[in-house]
Amino acid sequence: MKTFVLAPDSFKESMTAEQACMAMQRGIQQVFPQAQCIHVPMADGGEGTVDALIHALSGEKVHCSVQGPLPHQTIQIYFGLVDDGQTAIMEMAKANGIDLLEKSQRNPLFTSTFGTGKMIRHALDLGVKKIIIGLGGSVTNDAGSGMAQALGVRFLDDFGNEVQMCGGVLNQISKIDLTQLDVRLKDVDILIASDVNNPLCGENGASYVFAPQKGATPEMVKQLDANLLHFSNIVESVLNFDVRNVAGAGAAGGLGFGLMAFANAKIQSGASLVIEQTGLAEKIAEADYVFTGEGSIDFQTKFGKTPWAVAQVAKRLNKPLIAFAGRVGDDVEPLFDEGFTQIISINEPNCNLEVALKNAEKNLEKKVAKVSLLLKDQK
């Protein structure tokens, strides 16, 4: 009996990671009816991180209401609870993500991470000792100031007035009052899961790299970056340490910076964190084949994306790894030296995007069945 470890990320806009696992299993069992298929749905800190870890660690969902990306916007969200209630797992995007706003509403001058702070506070109310928070998919650029405000930090202007934080007002801050910061943060380990290693400011920082996709014009990008620099100067003078250039400080519009500065959070690769938490290496060690995948595989995959991270484990354990993607770029050859055995598109060339998204599960199942048949013929 063959054993397959199925460790895909989500296929954006078409399949969750678990749906991809199911499609892969259906394809495999057309050829190997008795195959053991071990599902390890993956994520890299963005969409699907909570669900992947709840699935892997037999956790539960906790539902709550928080502020969305814009003031006066209330949304219903959930985070995960595992380890007998000792660890909370959350995605900032559930509270303050880009998909929560229509394109016409997106403006990082006005969005904030306040809802993420409220989500953290909900977890603290449950008495958790550890929080894992994924930072992908944000629509914010406020350096985590909204999050900090929700946890009790007061940001004051030149006149001593408290400012309601968002990306466009960071330059108004002249004083920070930490006296009401939630004391429970001192007793909680916070771990950031991110696949982004950008600093907070500058041409490689949060504003220049990511703000345009959140609705920022070139003029707004300059303003946002200047605001982040001003704000980080104030923060670092108050806290007496510098985190703006730490890799990942620019993640989620600077939420990485805010979590490190105000909550003493530690940051690591999102995909690596999920691999560690799910015990993927132990599962792969017992497998004959490893299947992974996500919506697109190209030259960026080697910069810490889920398929690359899974491939590193498979390579170390000398297991064949086959990756499936909706789109395969022209420049994937270097990946074959990184642990990838095959990289396969599930779509026909020049396939219409709308059709490809609609038929993604069916196409993945069919392609996996074809590959499985080839594997069977090799034996």
Of all residues in the chain, what percent carry a pLDDT higher than 70?
A: 100
Q: Determine the pLDDT at residue 56.
A: 85
| Residue position matching structure tokens 């022209």 | 330
Of all residues in the chain, what percent carry a pLDDT higher than 90?
A: 87
Average pLDDT on 236-242 reads 92
**What whole-number distance in Å separates Cα of residue 364 and Cα of residue 149?**
44
pLDDT digits (tens, 9 = 90+) for 309-319: 999 999 999 99
Q: Determine the pLDDT at residue 306.
A: 92
Mean predicted lDDT score pLDDT of the chain: 95
For CA atoms 364, 365, 370, 371, give the dihedral sign. Answer: positive
pLDDT digits (tens, 9 = 90+) for 279-292: 999 999 999 999 99
Indicate if the pLDDT at residue 363 is higher than 90: yes
Same fold, 3-40+279-378 and 49-271: no
| Residue position matching structure tokens 């959930």 | 78
Q: Determine the pLDDT at residue 352.
A: 85
Cβ neighbour number for residue 303 with a 10 Å cutoff: 11
281, exposed or middle or buried, with CB in 10 Å at 0-12, 13-18, 19+?
Answer: middle
Q: Determine the pLDDT at residue 2.
A: 94
Q: Determine the pLDDT at residue 81.
A: 98
Radius of gyration of the chain (CA): 21
**What whole-number distance in Å separates Cα of residue 297 and Cα of residue 177?**
45
Structure tokens at 347: 């779509």
Q: Residue 300: which pLDDT band, with cuts at 50, 70 and 90? A: confident
Indicate if the pLDDT at residue 379 is higher than 80: no
Q: Residue 237: which pLDDT band, with cuts at 50, 70 and 90? A: very high
Specify the fold of 49-271: Glycerate kinase, domain 2 (3.90.1510)
CB 190 within 8 A of CB 131: yes
**What whole-number distance in Å separates Cα of residue 197 and Cα of residue 268?**
9
Cβ neighbour number for residue 327 with a 10 Å cutoff: 16
pLDDT digits (tens, 9 = 90+) for 249-259: 999 999 999 99
Residue boundaries of the structural domains of the chain = 3-40+279-378, 49-271
- Nearest CA to 307 among 195, 170, 211? 195
pLDDT digits (tens, 9 = 90+) for 259-279: 999 999 999 988 999 999 999
For residue 274, give every residue at least 6 positions away whose Cβ sits within 8 Å of its Cβ, in sequence order, or none: 42, 43, 44, 45, 49, 52, 53, 56, 193, 280, 306
Q: Determine the pLDDT at residue 234.
A: 97
Right CATH number for 3-40+279-378 from 2.60.40.10, 3.30.2010.10, 3.40.50.10350, 3.30.450.20?
3.40.50.10350
41, exposed or middle or buried, with CB in 10 Å at 0-12, 13-18, 19+?
Answer: buried
